[in-house]
Amino acid sequence: MQYDVLSAHADATGTLVSGRNRLKGYQCVSGGTAGDVIIRDGGVSGTIRLRFTISTNLVTFGTPIPGEGILYYTDMHVTLPAGAKITVFYG
């Protein structure tokens, strides 16, 4: 299925994208605080669709999501460790 790919950026915990969408990939910068980056469907207490851990080292990394991506039914909410930043690619 072909569709437009958009991006959204966050440097604090909150809603990245409202509405139904598919996560196609992301780029993350760790901010010096170790912890989990959690992307949920349905707000701060919603279903966890993606979780990964970042270290205290200042590192930039990204990952494309295979296939059609990860489906978020209501919204895409991210929880970030202090200082971390993320850009997501979605459609």
- pLDDT score for 77: 98
d(CA 23, CA 55): 23
**C-alpha torsion sign, points 69, 12, 30, 39:** negative
Q: What is the mean pLDDT of residues 33-47?
A: 96
Measured CA to CA, the distance from residue 1 to residue 22 in angstroms comes to: 12
Confidence of residue 2 (pLDDT cuts 50, 70, 90): low
Domain boundaries, position 66: 6-85
What rounded mean pLDDT belongs to the chain? Answer: 94
Q: How confident is the model at residue 87 (pLDDT cuts 50, 70, 90)?
A: very high
Local structure of residue 42 (DSSP, 8 states)? S
Inside any domain, residue 35: yes
Is residue 63 assigned to a domain?
yes
Q: Residues for the chain: how many in total?
A: 91
- Which percentage of the chain shows pLDDT scores above 90? 86
- The residue ranking higher by pLDDT, 57 or 18, is 18
Number of domain units in the chain: 1
Q: Which residues partner with 53 through β-bridges?
A: 36
Residue 46 lies in a domain: yes
The 10 Å Cβ neighbour count of residue 84 is 23
- Going by pLDDT thresholds of 50, 70 and 90, the confidence category of residue 32 is confident
